[in-house]
Amino acid sequence: MGAQRGGEEPAAAGARPLRRDAELNRQRILQAGREVFAARGLQATLNDVAHHAGLGVGTVYRKFPDKQALAEAVFTEELDEIAAMAQKALAEDDGFAALAGFLERALGWPRTTVDCAS
């Protein structure tokens, strides 16, 4: 869904792709961010995320300069997943079945969105 603020965009136009270990760390950070934000809300710190990911806080800060950048990357990934579900539904011939299937997948999806008011 667009460039991520602070997080390196994998294989962005003209940019070198991340090294394998760097991409794995990025994925670990995003997964940890998803889980920590779901459990603790947006009051969680990048230190909390780093600890949960089993990485040093410096590694997290190299990928995401602040908590807002990480939260944006986490939410962007989640929105991309929902958009992919919608695209799959659009490809179906039966509109009702497509809508029903989309809603079942989207509502049953184990998402970890957080209450932004927290």
Give all domains of the chain, ordered by start, each with its CATH number. Answer: 20-108 (1.10.357.10)
Give the global pTM.
0.70
pLDDT at 112: 53
User: Is residue 59 predicted with pLDDT exceeding 80?
Assistant: yes
Distance of CA 52 to the CA centre of its chain: 15
pLDDT confidence of residue 6: 47
CA–CA dist 51, 29 (Å, integer):
10
- CA distance from start to end of the chain: 25
- pLDDT tens-digit series, residues 65-111: 999 999 999 999 989 999 999 999 999 999 999 999 999 888 886 65
Mean pLDDT of the chain: 84
Q: Tell me which amino acid residue 53 is.
A: A
Task: Write out the two tokens for 79.
Answer: 């929105």
User: How far from 72 is each of 7, 19, 79, 104, 105, CA to CA, in Å?
Assistant: 9, 22, 10, 25, 23
Instruction: For residue 102, give Cα distances in angstroms to 70, 85, 86, 88.
Output: 27, 6, 6, 8
